[in-house]
């Protein structure tokens, strides 16, 4: 199975590159039309990259959450086993 965390890190980095490239290309292309148009177009051009960043960060957080829940479940099962062994030994 492919480890997902390194793959998501690569996708997040690529998304940042997409956002920066979109902003730069939008700004440089529309600079002759005025500063307000340039800022607006640069923002709009960087939106797909920002959307991708949010999407991949959410996926990364969900994977971390799942791993933490597995770790906590394992810990709670070991505590339950210890408590059951102690209750059985006291009777």
Nearest to 65 by CA among 55, 54, 57: 57
User: What is the mean pLDDT of the segment spanning 13-23?
Assistant: 95
This prediction has a pTM of: 0.78
Q: Categorize the per-residue pLDDT at 1 as very low, low, confident or very high, splitting at 50, 70 and 90.
A: low
Helix (H) or strand (E) holding 85: helix 35-90
Q: Categorize the per-residue pLDDT at 16 as very low, low, confident or very high, splitting at 50, 70 and 90.
A: very high
d(CA 37, CA 45): 12
Give the residue carrying structure tokens 């099962």.
77
């Amino acid at each position: 199975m492919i480890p997902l965390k390194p793959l998501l890190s690569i996708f997040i980095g690529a998304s940042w590159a997409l956002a920066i490239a979109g902003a730069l290309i939008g700004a440089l292309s529309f600079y002759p039309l005025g500063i307000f148009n340039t800022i607006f177009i640069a923002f709009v051009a960087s939106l797909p990259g920002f959307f991708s960043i949010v999407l991949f960060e959410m996926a990364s957080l969900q994977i971390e959450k799942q791993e933490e829940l597995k770790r906590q479940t394992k810990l709670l099962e070991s505590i339950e086993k210890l408590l059951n062994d102690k209750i059985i030994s006291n009777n």
